[in-house]
Amino acid sequence: MIELMKESAGPVLGFRAGGVLSDADYREVLIPALEKAIAQYGRVRCLVCFEEDFRGWEALALWDDAVFGMSHRSDFSRLAVVGAPEWLDWAVKMSAWLMDGEVRTFPREELEKAWNWVKEGAVSARDGGQ
């Protein structure tokens, strides 16, 4: 399950991820929302909050994540990953060098701090806050 968070606005998007993420989650929720924001603002800022019940990805969803991430790696000015299991937190930190923007991880109890960091300096101009 992936859902757009109500705090999302302009070039700043937040998503909740729980259970096992599916291809449909990516094709019906995550990818359309991000592509729309990228088309409108150029670069976006994104927060992904992993719920306690997060258990991973279906194989096709993992592929969707990798393909989208690599083809849009310069379209994110900031990415905050919140509440990820330890193994995923480590993987995010190790792969952050693939992204052109800043990447930070936060524990679940610092969700508000993560939102503040993602929103910091964001503008609604075409550059998405750069």
A 10 A CB-CB count for 15 gives 19
pTM comes to: 0.89
Give me the pLDDT at residue 122, please: 67
Domain ranges of the chain: 2-119
Weakly modelled stretches of the chain, pLDDT under 70: 122-130
| Model pLDDT for residues 67-97, shown as the tens digit of each residue | 998 899 899 999 999 999 998 988 888 888 7
Give me the pLDDT at residue 128, please: 44
Backbone angles phi, psi at 51, to 5 degrees: -75, 160
Give me the pLDDT at residue 123, please: 58
CATH of 2-119 given 1.10.3470, 2.60.120, 3.30.70, 3.40.50: 3.40.50
